[in-house]
Structure formats: structure tokens, C-alpha cells
Amino acid sequence: MILGLKRGTVELYDHNPEWEIVAAQTISQLKSIFGEAAIDIQHIGSTSIRSVKAKPIIDIAVGVMSFNRVLPLIAALEDKGFYKSKLHAVENDILICDDDENADTRTHHIHIVIYGSTQWKNYISFRDYLNANSTAAYAYEKTKAELARKYPADRNAYTEGKDEIVSQILRKAQAWRCAVIEENVL
């Protein structure tokens, strides 16, 4: 199994079911560190979408009620040797990257977000919608593949290039989520 990617580069691989195993192990470890500070922890991102190629980096969303309860845990993550972390504050998302500085690679992105926030809902709806809709998943993968060919050494350009299709998919995913909830209520 391939896990990890040189920082700044873009390579896509066929979905590997072992990514789900690694994600489950990571979630278990995060639960032991975050304890009650985490309301929910979910595998997100392309490695959680069964029908699309992905960068071999595991994305995990940690839903919390307050960032104030999380900040003291950053040191605990490092103290326990769980991550050599870099902390990036991006709007309503604290991103911790698992960096292997010797190999210059990343294997995990841990996104700490407010549980129930728009960002949390977007992560979950995007994943669930693409797992349920093969046509949308194919369109997403096609765009990713084109961008990976165009920007193999520029992850920022690759990510920015996905903005439009991600926005389109999120709009559809949100409507889909509302329809699923309504169907389950009736």
C-alpha cells in the first residue's frame, strides 16, 4: 500500500481499501487523545471515496464543540509521538499535518472543525454524496486527473483548480443530504 506523498507534489492512485483500515486506526488513536473534546471523528477526503483516485494522504475530520478545548491537546499529540505536527489555522479549520521531515512527505491531514458547522457538514456531505453518486464521482476524478497531469509539482495550483467542481458538487451534495433527511423523516 502506498501511503504518503512528497510535500507539494500531486500523484493520484487507485482507491485502496487499506486506506480505510489506516483511517480507522488513526481515528482510534485520535479518540484516545481527544477524549470528550471530540464529538465525532470521520474519515473524509478522496481516500474515503471508494470510486475515485486519490493522493495517498488520509484526511480525518475531528468535530469539536470549541477550539479552546483543543489547543491544549496539540502538545499532547506531539508529546505522545502521534504527530510531528505543523499547525495551520485556516478560517474555521485547524489543520495538523503528519510530516516526515526526513522523507519530506505527508501521510495524514487532521482537520479540526466545529462539530455541526458548515465546514463539518461539507466534509461529510461531499464524501457521502460522491460515494452514493458514481456520475458525480467520475466527474470529480476526471477533473482531479487533468489537474494532476497539469500540476504534478504544484499542489496549491492543483487544489485551487478543483475549487469550481468542489463548489458544484457541494451544492448538489447539500440538496441530496436534505432530500435524504426528509425521506428518513417521512
> What does each of the 186 residues of the chain score in pLDDT, given as a tens digit?
889 999 889 999 999 999 999 999 999 999 999 999 999 999 999 999 999 999 999 999 999 998 888 888 888 877 765 665 555 555 667 777 776 666 778 888 899 999 999 999 999 999 999 999 999 999 999 999 999 999 999 999 999 999 999 999 999 999 998 887 766 655
The whole-number pLDDT of residue 89 equals 56
What pLDDT, on a 0 to 100 scale, did the predictor assign at position 70? 85
Cell 507534489 found at: 9
pLDDT of residue 61: 96
Residue 119 confidence (pLDDT): 93
| CATH number of the domain encompassing residue 102 | 3.30.460.10
CA distance 37 to 15: 31
The alpha carbon of 151 is separated from its chain's Cα centroid by a whole number of angstroms, namely: 20
| Predicted local distance difference test score (pLDDT) of residue 84 | 55
pLDDT of residue 183: 64
Sign of CA dihedral 165, 117, 110, 75: positive
Q: What's the pLDDT at 74?
A: 82
- List Cα–Cα distances, 99 to 14, 143, 167, 183, in angstroms: 23, 27, 28, 43
Q: pTM to 2 decimals?
A: 0.90
How many independent structural domains does the chain possess?
Answer: 1
CA distance 98 to 84: 6
- Structural domain boundaries, residue 127: 5-185
What residue has cell string 482510534? 28
According to DSSP, the β-strands at 93-100 and 58-64 are unpaired
The full length of the chain comes to: 186
